[in-house]
Amino acid sequence: MSFGKISAALIMIAIGATILYNKVLKPKDEGGFGKPGGGKGMPPMAVSAIVVKPEKFSQSVKLGGTLLANDEVEIRSEISGRIVQMNIAEGSEVQKGSLLVKLNDDDLQAQLKKLTAQKQTAEQTEKRLKELLKINGVGQQEYDAASVQLSGINADIDFTKAQIAKTNIYAPFSGRVGLRNVSTGAYVSPATLISTLSQNSLLKLDFTLPERYLSGLTKGMDVNFSVDGYDQKFKAKIIALDSRIDEQTRSIKVRALVQNNLGKLVSGAFAEIALPLSDINNALLIPSQCIIPEARSKKVILYKSGKAVFQKIVTSVRDSSRVLVLDGIKAGDTIVSTGIMYVKPDATISITKID
């Protein structure tokens, strides 16, 4: 047999094998759960679903905040000088008006004595010239010069006393003293941080709240929070909201007060806040896995008369596994919960299980 005849025979055999495979041996696409199915000429795709039921839902949102001392100051001197007395026991409680630091004021005290002596002489001169002025013994100009000199000395005395007062640093409020950065005998200036004083018996809790939750927040509301290192929950009371919403973050600053009577809480600590919002009596909650996220919206698949209907929804807050739906579904709707990645719009589906 020639080579051409052999090639023709092989081609005929290949064509026959292809026809046999396509008509008899090729596997049929049966559809079903886990594969695209439910199309025209296909059996319904098997899925699970849930029936939406209204229920009471207590809204809450978790936020991060910072604990701050109700009052806190840096202890610094208004003038430069050498410390001769320091009454700062690190970490101790001090009362308002307590003397914390004393600077050397020997030069100022000497200046005050000098001015006091000059004042006595100036007062005597002014008094004598005043009597002479009454009988025209001196001119008005001479008396005025003596009076001005006395006023200048009094002003110098007041200034010196003010400088002496600045050598004493008192506690402006009751609180706890921090760590010392200098010791007795050190020379300090207004730039020197001596220590800090914080009022920790009452703390401020500051946090920011997204504007969409603003309607559920009221002044005087109690909020619970926790801090690392303690298993217990702490309570704070909201006292103020900022006057405006930040245009960049679309959130508002909120401040609450915390009674720290046991002294467990420390300024600067991070607090995890559980903020309660208004309760909803007929809330519609669905599992988060039922939602199909899209670029600008979210959808769910409804089961209607054996068909898959894609429905756009509007969601709000969520708990650990469910999402609150505000619009797009109603009570009694049946929502597909499994196989949602394979179901096509208007596809035929069958429900094998109601969760």
- Out of 223, 250, 280, a domain closes at 280
- Tens of pLDDT, residue by residue over 106-161, are 999 999 999 999 999 999 999 999 889 888 888 899 999 999 999 999 999 999 99
Give me the CATH number covering residue 325: 2.40.420.20
30, part of any domain: no
CA–CA separation, 91 and 73 (whole Å): 15
- Tens of pLDDT, residue by residue over 293-318, are 988 889 999 999 999 999 999 988 77
- The total number of structural domains in the chain stands at 3
As given in the structure block, the two tokens for residue 174 are: 């009751």
- Out of 158, 188, 218, a domain closes at 188
- DSSP label of 172: S
Q: Which of 298, 304, 291, 282 is nearest to 340 (CA)?
A: 291
11, part of any domain: no
67 near 269, Cβ under 8 Å? Answer: yes
11 near 303, Cβ under 8 Å? Answer: no
97, part of any domain: yes
Q: Looking at the structure, do residues 88 and 140 belong to the same domain, yes or no?
A: yes
Residue 232: phi and psi, rounded to 5, are: -75, 160
3-state helix/strand/coil string of 30-60: CCCCCCCCCCCCCCCEEEEEEECCEEEEEEE
Range of the domain at 206: 61-70+198-280
Q: Which of 335, 338, 337, 317 is nearest to 326 (CA)?
A: 317
Instruction: Please state the pTM of the whole predicted model.
Output: 0.60
142 near 156, Cβ under 8 Å? Answer: no
CA–CA separation, 11 and 22 (whole Å): 17
- Tens of pLDDT, residue by residue over 273-282, are 988 777 788 8
Tell me the CA end-to-end span of the chain in Å, nearest whole number. Answer: 71
